[in-house]
């Protein structure tokens, strides 16, 4: 946790400009992050609603699929061993794709069918219709499951992303910006103080100069008085005639 301190920087006008720019930058950053967090939350709520819908639907579909299994067993006898024996490659596969929401990549799963139906001939002699219905029901259930899986992973990823973004927004708002503001105010106060010091110094100097001047004038006056009246030196400029000039 940072304390209530400011950035250590030499207070100068340049530093002030720099700090102002940084403050502006921090504020813009915070606004952008807030927008990102809002977009993520909106998507989050959408996904949540979809998850709830899909889960209730899933309950229904699984129930129906289990019941159609019972029906198929009633009509066709026990075909579970046949099915288990004939398993080799997966017929329904899942692909992962990436979806981008406000800069966050979310994984999305989609299922695709590969290869033919290797259980086509099961139940040829008994219960074929029920087996076909059973296959359809469970295929639907698998589709729903894949959808639910991708919704839930995006849910978890988005949750993480929202937490991080909100943390950053709060950090900027409550730590970075106040710190910069404090630095800025410190610089301003320092500068003001320096100006005042300058001003005071100037005033003092002026005073001192005046004092000095007074003192020196007094000195001169005193010395003048001591000397008595004295002829003034000839002022070339004041003299009208000059003795030394022979011809005028």
Partner 1 sequence: MSGCAELSFNVDNGYLEGLVRGFKAVILKRVDYINLAQCETLEDLKLHLQSTDYGNFLANENEDLTVSRIDDKMKEKLFTEFRCLRSHSVQPLSTFLDYITYSYMIDNVILLITGAVHQQPVSELLPRCHPLGNFEQMGAVSIAQNSTELYNAIMVDTPLAQFFQDSLSEMNLDEMNAEILRNKLYKSYLESFHKFCKENGGTTKEIVCPILEFEADRRAFIITVNSFETDLSQDERSQLYPTCGKLNPEELRMLASAEDHEHVKAVADHHSDYKLIFEGSGDSSSDRTLEGRFFEYEVKLNTLAFLNQFHFGLFYAYIKLKEQEIRNIVWIAECIAQRQRSKIDNYIPIF
Cβ-contact 53, 174 below 8 angstroms: no
Rounded CA-CA distance 130/128 in Å is: 6
Q: Of residues 18, 132, 148, 171, which one binds partner 1 by CB under 8 A?
A: 132
Site string for partner 1, 45-64 (x = CB under 8 A): ------------------x-
Return the range that interacts with partner 1 (CB under 8 A); candidates 24-32, 76-84, 93-101, 166-174.
76-84
Q: Of residues 110, 129, 160, 214, which one binds partner 1 by CB under 8 A?
A: 129
Rounded CA-CA distance 211/194 in Å is: 25
Task: Indicate the angle between helix axes 128-171 and 13-76, nearest 10 degrees.
Answer: 170
Q: Does residue 137 bind partner 1 (CB under 8 A)?
A: no
Return the range that interacts with partner 1 (CB under 8 A); candidates 16-24, 90-98, 114-122, 197-205.
114-122
Nearer to partner 1, 11 or 127 (CB): 127
Return the range that interacts with partner 1 (CB under 8 A); candidates 49-57, 115-123, 159-167, 188-196.
115-123
CA gyration radius, the chain: 47
Return the range that interacts with partner 1 (CB under 8 A); candidates 68-76, 167-175, 188-196, 200-208.
68-76
Query: Positive or negative, the Cα torsion across 192, 193, 194, 197?
Result: positive
Q: Does residue 130 bind partner 1 (CB under 8 A)?
A: yes
- What is residue 108's three-state secondary structure? strand
209-238 residues near partner 1, rule: CB under 8 A = none
Cβ-contact 135, 120 below 8 angstroms: no
């Amino acid at each position: 946790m940072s304390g209530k301190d400011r950035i250590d920087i030499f207070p100068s006008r340049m530093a002030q400009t720099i700090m102002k720019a940084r403050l502006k930058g921090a504020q813009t950053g915070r606004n952008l992050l807030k927008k990102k967090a809002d977009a993520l939350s909106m998507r989050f709520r959408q996904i949540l609603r979809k998850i709830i819908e899909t889960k209730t639907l899933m309950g229904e579909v699984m129930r129906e699929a289990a019941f159609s299994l019972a029906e198929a067993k009633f009509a066709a006898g026990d075909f579970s061993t046949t099915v288990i024996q004939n398993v080799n490659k997966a017929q329904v596969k899942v692909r992962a794709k990436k979806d981008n929401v406000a800069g966050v990549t979310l994984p999305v799963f989609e299922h695709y069918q590969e290869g033919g139906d290797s259980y086509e001939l099961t139940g040829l002699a008994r219960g074929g219709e029920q087996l076909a219905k059973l296959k359809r029901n469970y295929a639907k259930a698998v589709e729903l499951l894949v959808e639910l899986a991708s919704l839930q992973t995006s849910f978890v990823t988005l949750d993480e992303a929202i937490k991080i973004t909100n943390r950053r927004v709060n950090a900027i708002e409550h730590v970075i910006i106040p710190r910069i503001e404090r630095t800025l105010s410190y610089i301003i106060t320092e500068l003001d103080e320096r100006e005042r010091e300058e001003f005071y110094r100037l005033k003092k100097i002026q005073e001192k100069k005046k004092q000095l001047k007074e003192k020196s004038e007094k000195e001169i006056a005193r010395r003048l008085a001591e000397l008595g009246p004295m002829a003034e030196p000839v002022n070339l400029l004041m003299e009208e005639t000059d003795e030394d000039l022979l011809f005028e």
